[in-house]
Structure 1
């Protein structure tokens, strides 16, 4: 019952203020993804004790609080908010440029697999590389890097992220473009994309700490 009320609320909000609705949803999902990423990083980076004492638990909690990178989470929130208008307009353009059904009078025809394939191909060839450019550039500048530093960040992580993207998102977008109504497409990809953003967050952070990716660590989040 609660999910139905939330769904109705979201639909009304999207109809009235689509950009604002998507901005809040996207920003929240981005912050959640980075929160999960930082939690995983801290968990995997510290060996667990069999029987921790009360003092150990207290020290660990205090250390986690003091070491938590709130600025990093804020950057992911800001990036999600900033991408919302682009995602909204891109999905709208895809919907009208490649209609899945041809209408004959008042009767809708069968779903065109050719049009569906075009939607996915255009999305992955055009928007996916562009979206990653936005991600790497925005993160670099929000981290306070110079133009040269942002260029180095591109060299270090862009192709790794793009190749990983093409392993995951064609199937996700096929399902999205085929079955999801327009107003639910960004939330759908956002929900599926939490794991993807966790990967990007970890990849981005690992590039900040060292010059090369810890391949074994990254691989665990791709499988």
Structure 2
């Protein structure tokens, strides 16, 4: 009889605990649902305004500026981790942010022009946009990137020429590895207003690499290495 009584008490205890847990979960769910209802409308309203024709330019430039900065900070974090530098260089980050502004402006207008003159989402239309993007716009973007950052450096023209000569091919080769598959999705599925947002989201990792290439030392040619060795021996 005592065992039966203990068994009934155990069942009642489990039932009460389960009931309280269910009440807690129900209350939590209702709170989350209420929070979602109260925040969903303002968020949708913000997105609608930010990506409207009136503010789209400013939104695209802000996105590019922000993610270019974040990409450089991620690269600097890695460089600090491997002890290539000891602290964050905020001036360098600001320069990369400015390059993001320049790139954002170009991207905003490029996609509008591209969608205006090449209308549709057939395979042929997407292929045309992809070819124009890779063969015309990508080189312009790389040159713009080096040029915009060089404005803040000593001897900007010389630095610009030197970096384009030494690093252009390296970045352009990387562009072909990243952007063709990404841009197929961009051109086929997304409306014009979201293209720059998509680009910058995809390119966050690429921005890290861009920062790495930009701030890496120039690659020496074989003749330069030999000349240096000879000068050390003489």
Q: TM-score higher than 0.5 here?
A: yes
After the TM superposition, list the runs of 4 or more consecutive aligned residues in structure 1 that deviate by more than 4 angstroms. 1-5
The alpha-carbon deviation at position 44 of structure 1 amounts to: 2.5
* Partner in structure 2 of residue 103 of structure 1: none
Distance 1:5 1:201 in 2: 35
Q: Could you report, residue by residue, the CA deviation over 1:63-106 in whole angstroms, capped at 9, with x for unpaired residues? A: 95xx3110111011111122322211110111121112xxxxxx
TM-score, structure 1 as length reference: 0.75
Distance 2:41 2:213 in 1: 36
Distance 1:164 1:148 in 2: 24
**Equivalent residues of 1:30, 1:194 under 8 A apart:** yes
Secondary structure in structure 1 of the residue aligned to 2:119: coil
Match of 1:165 among 175, 180, 193: 175
* Partner in structure 2 of residue 30 of structure 1: 68
Q: Does 1:90 align with 2:127?
A: no
Distance 2:211 2:41 in 1: 32
Distance 1:4 1:34 in 2: 34
Q: Does 1:131 align with 2:141?
A: yes
TM-score, structure 2 as length reference: 0.72
**Equivalent residues of 1:140, 1:153 under 8 A apart:** no
Q: Once structures 1 and 2 are overlaid, which stretch shifts more, 115-124 or 73-82?
A: 73-82
Distance 1:3 1:80 in 2: 30
**Equivalent residues of 2:98, 2:149 under 8 A apart:** no
Q: Could you report, residue by residue, the CA deviation over 1:3-55 in whole angstroms, capped at 9, with x for unpaired residues? A: 88545413312212221111111101111110111001111237xxxxxxxxx
**Equivalent residues of 2:98, 2:148 under 8 A apart:** no
Q: Does 1:79 align with 2:99?
A: yes
* Partner in structure 2 of residue 104 of structure 1: none
Give 5+ residue unaligned stretches, structure 2: 1-35, 221-234
**Equivalent residues of 1:91, 1:182 under 8 A apart:** yes
| Alignment root-mean-square deviation, CA | 2.0
The alpha-carbon deviation at position 112 of structure 1 amounts to: 1.2
Give 5+ residue unaligned stretches, structure 1: 47-62, 101-110, 214-223
The number of residues matched between the two structures is 182
Residues 86 and 146 of structure 1: CA distance in aligned 2, closer, same or farther (over 3 Å): closer
Residues 27 and 3 of structure 1: CA distance in aligned 2, closer, same or farther (over 3 Å): farther
Q: Does 1:194 align with 2:224?
A: no
Distance 1:162 1:96 in 2: 26
Secondary structure in structure 2 of the residue aligned to 1:126: helix
